[in-house]
A and B are shown apart, each in its own frame.
Chain A
């Protein structure tokens, strides 16, 4: 397959979810990371401790309750997800790799980083199936407000409830990076900045230099283009 999911993962925190516990062959050796991380050590190579962490998602009923997908949709989603990530987790590098495949002309890694943070809700460095499916549920089956909230969360890099110009500039630059060099008209250096200025002019009602969630949602709701484009991907799954 395209994506050799690494058996050597930087051990993420796996707190409340079920974990497959495998006999740790070196009980004396301190685990290199957090207490909940468990590993399967390759007995053939005692020097190299290969940690293969596996993750099982919550039950189908729980996910059905948390998301707006039907049972069949969840099944199909999980099958696809599991096919690509047999370990049940996507780490950031793999995510960037996958996302970059869709944008061969440009550099999608920065935007993928922001996207990863938007999906990885508990900020543990990896996307589990639950995160994946909850995110998709908002994007595909959520109300417009929920989608806008999701977008706001994406732009708000430090998740403090305000979008500053710097944050928006970073996001905008990453989007323009995805375009790559060969565009028409060619991307000027300050294209991103201009775009950000336009955005702030539109969104920042009280001209305080930041965009709050309410300003954002309000402005978007008045913009026809944005509202119609939110409905664009209804039937993706």
Chain B
């Protein structure tokens, strides 16, 4: 990307001659051009396949292997070419990256091989073009999962590291039953008892054969009350112990208590305890019976044992809107038809359609094509509308269901992909910031161009925040201080990476300006400056004198975000002394201006 803009910069600079006759102030001197040698062809021999390209093409990305002096390590004197003992097929893509600025991922290549090549040539994968990025990330994730699975399998065979605390061991045993034999035993035992408990609840209600001297049949639960009670007690005890153990072992108790599984556990065992506490009071026995219903929730405890149940629960959750819509449309249809049926059947005698809510039952049964027959219309109008109801029921029920089913898969995959993409975007931008360093030469030339524009109009670029600050400060008659703060602040740039970085710095600076008060000396400001940007200014702070460093950096800072796709690069001072002096001279005048107030 930077290649494209860089190619037009000479043109933009030449066109700046159009500003000269109307300029209000003299122009700044141009940056010294590092006259590298003539653009020549470089031969890259990759395992026998010769690639050739211009030197300039490679040097577009100076922080990769091929673009920097690192490639000299691979120079082969005998044949006067650069030899790399790597895969030529993948190298083709890497070279195309230099040429076009876009990195593509070939689908037929193995992801690990590709990653290795990228790592070797110093290219960050985050700059893979949008066309191939999703595919790349998918493959990478699959690979990572595969590796993780392999590792887990290996780990399980390994000894548990002895320094794991007992609590951690327990939690691990609970979460991964196949880590140790004990965990597996525990897993199966709890599973067995869940099944037993559920079966007991079910069997409890079956009528057992009654003795000849009994008046009515009793359910097994009543007959063998004690046995069932003991069974229930045993199950509940096991569940309670399990819950308490999990609670103790959980790394984050609060999170554990909030989780769905623990709520299910609690709901499963509470009825028993409530039942213990309550006496056989007639008033509350009704409520007590209701509570027993909750025992059936124990079946949900199986979802710990079954991944499929969990996935189902998740997809239901993610399809909630579709389900809601189905419900809503059904409700609408039910109300409409119930009303119609009620009024149609109002006339007939002994009609079962006593009220509209009573007609709801008929409508639902008819629309879902159940047709129990406990309520049937008797009038002709009722029959007509009843048939319309059943016909439309087929449509209303049948149509959304496949839509929902396909929505399940679509939404499921979509939400996965959207989340992936969001996560990818963040890391992608971070990667972009790291990798799209353009030439320092491009930077200096672009800065010079912008400086010329400033001189033409006799105004300076400032950042949004300092613009507002300076608006406030206009009332206070200290223009110079604002100017110094404006000089040391950054521009509001397009490039997100630079904006993020520099806005943060700007904020600190303007803060410090405020804090330091209007009387803050330039020295103070510069001190704060240097402290906040150790990385990008390390070279300049080594090279330049203290006072010069600050405006130097600030000059750089004030333009860096204007550079289109770039990162704050190390400022103008290059190891060559000549460059430094010229830029220092150029900035000396600025320094004089600032300190002269």
Contacts and interface: CB of A to CB of B under 8 A. Distances in A.
B11 interface: yes
A94 to B, nearest CB: 11
Interface string A152-175: 001100000000000010011001
B467 A230 contact: no
A93 B164 CA distance: 65
Nearest to A188: B459
Nearest to B495: A104
Given A103-B453, A104-B493, A175-B456, A184 B462 contact: yes
B14 interface: yes
A226 interface: yes
A210 interface: no
A101 B561 CA distance: 12
A182 B453 contact: no
Give the one of B21, B30, B482, B561 with max A CB within 10 A.
B21
A1 B27 contact: no
Contacts, number: 165
B19 to A, nearest CB: 6
Interface residues of B, number: 63
Given A84-B7, A151-B17, A151-B21, A184 B482 contact: yes
Interface residues of A, number: 61
Contacts of A233: 13-14, 16-17, 30
Interface in B267-289: none
A232 interface: yes
A230 B17 contact: yes
Interface string B472-486: 000000010011001
A103 B452 CA distance: 12
Classify the interface of chain A: helix, strand, loop or mixed: helix
A182 B457 contact: no
Interface in A58-96: 72, 76, 79-81, 83-84
Contacts of A228: 26-27
A178 to B, nearest CB: 6
Contact of A3 (B4, B17, B466, B482): B4
B323 to A, nearest CB: 41
Contacts of A230: 17, 20
Contact of B101 (A1, A72, A148, A183): A1
B564 interface: yes
Given A1-B100, A104-B564, A236-B13, A98 B453 contact: no
Interface string B191-207: 00000000000000000
A103 B21 CA distance: 20
Given A175-B19, A184-B470, A140 B456 contact: no
B589 interface: no
A101 B491 CA distance: 14
Interface string B1-43: 1011101111111111111111110110110010000110000
The 7 A-B pairs at the shortest CB distance, nearest first, are namely: A139-B14, A183-B459, A80-B7, A182-B467, A104-B494, A229-B27, A229-B20
